[in-house]
Amino acid sequence: MLSLVVLISGGGSNLRALLDASQDAEFPARVVAVGADRDADGFAHAEEYGIPTFSVALSSFADRDAWGEELLAQVRSWNADLIVLSGFMKLLPPDFVDALAPNVINTHPAYLPEFPGAHGVRDALAAGVAQTGASVIVVDNGVDSGPIISQERVAIEPGDTESSLHERIKPVERRLLIQAILDIANSRIDLKDL
């Protein structure tokens, strides 16, 4: 049984999909805790499933490194096999990534390496391209630059707004994330080999 700590910042729809999937006794992973850099709305999903939450706000620390140290300590306290970033909107300090790599994965609403960073959906729309996508990657010390686990194209429709496009991308992200976790749990993917 793969134990997961999920880090979010927002509504946590990807987290919700993971929690719903793990209700199936056959699903080989369990979320043991949910963390955030704020009192995230998505904590409501964890609370509904009785899963502990923790928040480590950057503003409570002298600097990003001190914040990263506390976040790392909190994450490590759960002894999880895999850390899943899903809508976590902060860059993790190198010490955090180096301590846990390669067991940190991230979902991104673009077809990496296209449109990395915090505004992947908006950037794809602004670029006027016909399609973008969703990606699941291993987190490294770059910005959405780690090894790609899986990705899938998503069409951009005429009249799309950032919101309508993002809502079309998220279900693809959720499906890719759940499949990635299944493949990792069943040793079909070894993150050390990517």
Residues at the contact surface with ligand GRF, assessed by CB under 6 A: 8, 10-14, 42, 86-87, 107-109, 170, 173
CB closer to ligand GRF, 100 vs 144 = 144
DSSP secondary-structure letter at 59? Answer: G
Measured in degrees and rounded to the nearest 5, phi and psi for residue 185 equal: -65, -35
Kindly state the smallest distance separating residue 125's Cβ from ligand GRF, in Å. 14
Report how far apart, in Å, the C-alpha atoms of 48 and of each of 44, 66, 77 are. 6, 31, 22
Q: Which is nearer to ligand GRF, 52 or 171 (CB)?
A: 171
Burial tier of 124 (Cβ tally within 10 Å: 0-12, 13-18, 19+): buried
**Least CB distance from residue 155 to ligand GRF, whole Å?**
16
- CB-closest chain residue to ligand GRF: 87
d(CA 182, CA 19): 13
Q: Which is nearer to ligand GRF, 39 or 193 (CB)?
A: 39
Give min distance, CB of 187 to ligand GRF, in A: 25
Nearer to ligand GRF, 42 or 146 (CB): 42
Distance CA 175, CA 54 (A): 26
Nearest distance in Å: CB 120, ligand GRF: 8
* Shortest reach from residue 60's CB to ligand GRF, in Å: 22
Beta bridge partners of 2: 29
Closest CA to 90 of 115, 59, 50: 59
Structure tokens at 30: 């369990």
Give catalytic residue positions. Answer: 108
CB 33, CB 15: distance < 8 Å: no
Identity of the residue, 13 or 164, whose beta carbon is nearer to ligand GRF in the bound complex: 13
Torsion sign across C-alpha atoms 43, 13, 167, 101: positive
